[in-house]
Structure 1
Amino acid sequence: MVDHSDWRVGVASAPVHHGEILQGVFTGDGGLTRGLVTLPCTIHATRATFIPAPGAEVTVTPDWKGKARRAAELAVRAVTPADAGPVGGHLELTGDVPLCRGFGSSTSDVLAAIWAVKDAFTNPLPPQDVARIAVRAETASDSLMFEESTVLFAQREGTVIEDFGYRMPPMRVLGFGARPENDGRGVDTLAFAPARYDQGEIGLFTRLQAMLREAIQMKDVALLGSVATASTEINQRHLPIPKLDLIRNVARDSGALGVQAAHSGDIAGLLFDRDDPEVEERTGLAQRLLQALGIHEQWTYTTGD
């Protein structure tokens, strides 16, 4: 007889991200591997509820959230003992995450599902295990499960290439829709093959990794902004942002420290030092300058300790 006394309704909330600070190919244990550094974001979230039940079936509401359902199945297997017998349940997802924009909606769904299952069975599931489950569920994942540190993450392997040891320094992010002609419809990220980088870009990624390591350890927002801008410029060959030169002018004129982008989406952001006494004035000027370029879809948030 299986003991169900430890089962309960599991609840969890998972954040989104705002694209990447850095994305490319890097040297890992097995040679070159694709990797990214995610920019945390606080303006959207996915909430999940998981109700365990005997039997092997896991169902989900909405029923089209197949990646999250698969993640819940894998998580159930990870947190229940082999002799527990067939275990399933029902997963319900709610939230306000826009699709196909670069906010990491699928990873947010998947992560909320895994964490809700973990909560239902009150069993530990470290971030490294969560990452592996996420990649199995959605092929490529972001690094939202690593909450306590900034990591360079191999998004298709679910492994950490480098743990930088600290969270990102505090920043004010002025986000915006980088392709106004899309009218917020986003980008079909599944339609894009993974970027193929040349040797010059691969060498640059190594230098940018070292710069980012220093920026995070020294809490240097300006250096971090330089890394983000360089990564955005490299991505122009693969998924260009219209008016990027003019956006960079806005960054310069407003005192932003960098331009970052979702490397497979249609959102971007200007980065400011949260602790700059003039951050409000700088952000306001940047908002007006972006509007003058026809970029009216904008939002702000703060990240970091």
Structure 2
Amino acid sequence: MNRTLSRETVLGHCSCHHGEILQGVFRDSDGRPCRGLTTLPVFGRGVRAEFTPDPGRGPEELSVYPRTKTKAAAAAALAGAECRRRDQRGSCGGRIRLTSTVPLGLGMGSSTSDVIATVRAVAAGAGMSLPWSTIAAIAVRAEGASDPLMLDEHALLFAQRQGRVLERFGNALPRVIVVGCVTGGGGTVDTLRLGPGGERDADVQVFQRLRGMLRRAVVESDVELLGRVSTESARHNQRVLPKEELGALEEIAGEVEAAGVQVAHSGNVAGLLFDPDAPELRARLRECVRALNRRGIPFSHLFRSYPVQKGRETWTSTSRTRSVARTWCGSPTGSFAFDSRR
């Protein structure tokens, strides 16, 4: 198949996530234990990769900026090689510049976002689009484990160290509004140094039960059931990455009638989940932010877990209390204005 290589800058983009709804060890289709996770998507913000082809460079000469993005650089080389394997004329050298709005080391998929945006940009420069399975394989090779961000809006259980789907639950998770916050003082976490956790048969049984509950939550669009899954998964995560604030977050969830608590199982972001159709939602969101402030847990941002039409209502927070990450994700999917001081 003939392809025309771009001589102009092309773009690759990847959104981030806000930690996990569920993470643990599950049975794969052959009955073998396998680590897997389901992430909570954040739409609209993430990483933008600008690839400027340079015909004067050899096809293996791909430079990534900032230079500190070593995983993205490894992914660029792998993506270029894959494009050449598919079409010998399908790659040339060039420069890749990454622009990110994802905080590093907090469990929001920053490195995977870098990698996937880079791979998409390199492929676009070669005039092709790589399938998700190929992007996943490249991501795992480049960073040792990968979040399922190459699959965009799909609700699924993903084997992060193998780059494969364990189960597809449906098109999307139940819609939730999330009051995001920071645990652990906003410290960064080295994901690959965390212990595995949950390898015992009893643990696998627990995670398999939660997997079934999550499956039902997606099929029935049940926010309350989704919250039960995420809260129990957060509790099990305590043996791997303890969060001193988890008890307080569960107390707040009870006070404001949130569906549940959600945490990053490999980072320090967390959130309280709300049904967007719940009664008196605005008042409960305001009270949730006030409760976080009273307990000294920094509120970060308010967002939807699902995309909305461009130009619809926008969300802002008018709280006078500055958090450690006031503009992390801004309002990536649209929201409504509310005043957390009231």
TM-score scaled to structure 1, two decimals? 0.92
1:36 partner letter? L
| RMSD of aligned alpha carbons | 2.0
Match of 1:132 in 2: 137
Q: Distance in 2 between matches of 1:73 and 1:271?
A: 39
Displacement after TM superposition at 1:43 (Å): 6.9
Displacement after TM superposition at 1:44 (Å): 3.8
Native 8 Å contact 1:7 1:121 kept in 2: no
Match of 1:188 in 2: 190
Q: Distance in 1 between matches of 2:13 and 2:41?
A: 14
Native 8 Å contact 2:120 2:129 kept in 1: no
Match of 2:10 in 1: 10
Q: Distance in 2 between matches of 1:117 and 1:214?
A: 38
Change (3 A) 1:271 1:61: same
1:16 partner letter? C
Q: Distance in 2 between matches of 1:73 and 1:7?
A: 19
Aligned: 1:115 with 2:129: no
Change (3 A) 1:85 1:288: closer
Aligned: 1:167 with 2:169: no
Does 143-152 or 4-13 show the bigger shift?
4-13
Match of 2:24 in 1: 24
Match of 1:277 in 2: 279
Match of 2:152 in 1: 147
Match of 2:48 in 1: 47
Aligned: 1:90 with 2:95: yes
2:170 is paired with a residue whose SS is coil
Residues 100-145 of structure 1: CA distance to partner in whole angstroms, max 9, x if unpaired? 1111110010111011112222212121221111111111010111
1:194 is paired with a residue whose SS is coil
Q: Distance in 2 between matches of 1:111 and 1:83?
A: 22
Match of 1:178 in 2: 183
Displacement after TM superposition at 1:5 (Å): 4.6
Q: Which has the higher contact order (CA 8 A, sep 6+)?
A: 1
Q: Distance in 2 between matches of 1:228 and 1:17?
A: 14
Residues 179-232 of structure 1: CA distance to partner in whole angstroms, max 9, x if unpaired? 2xx3x2322334323325332221011111111011011111111111000100
Displacement after TM superposition at 1:85 (Å): 8.3
Match of 2:264 in 1: 262
Residues 134-184 of structure 1: CA distance to partner in whole angstroms, max 9, x if unpaired? 1111110101111241110000000000011221121100110012xx3x2
Match of 2:250 in 1: 248
TM-score scaled to structure 2, two decimals? 0.83
Aligned: 1:103 with 2:94: no
Native 8 Å contact 1:10 1:121 kept in 2: no
Does 225-234 or 44-53 show the bigger shift?
44-53
Displacement after TM superposition at 1:83 (Å): 3.0
Flag structure 1 segments of 5+ consecutive residues without an equivalent.
none
Native 8 Å contact 1:42 1:301 kept in 2: no
Native 8 Å contact 2:35 2:161 kept in 1: yes
2:227 partner letter? G
1:28 partner letter? D
Displacement after TM superposition at 1:283 (Å): 1.3
1:123 is paired with a residue whose SS is coil
Displacement after TM superposition at 1:74 (Å): 1.4
Q: Distance in 2 between matches of 1:297 and 1:190?
A: 27
Q: Distance in 2 between matches of 1:120 and 1:5?
A: 6
Displacement after TM superposition at 1:42 (Å): 3.4
Match of 2:216 in 1: 214
1:33 is paired with a residue whose SS is strand
Change (3 A) 1:7 1:29: farther
Match of 1:63 in 2: 67
Q: Distance in 2 between matches of 1:177 and 1:21?
A: 16
Q: Distance in 2 between matches of 1:66 and 1:136?
A: 12
2:17 partner letter? H
Match of 1:75 in 2: 79
2:74 partner letter? R
Displacement after TM superposition at 1:57 (Å): 1.6
Change (3 A) 1:252 1:73: same
1:211 is paired with a residue whose SS is helix
Change (3 A) 1:115 1:86: closer
1:263 is paired with a residue whose SS is coil
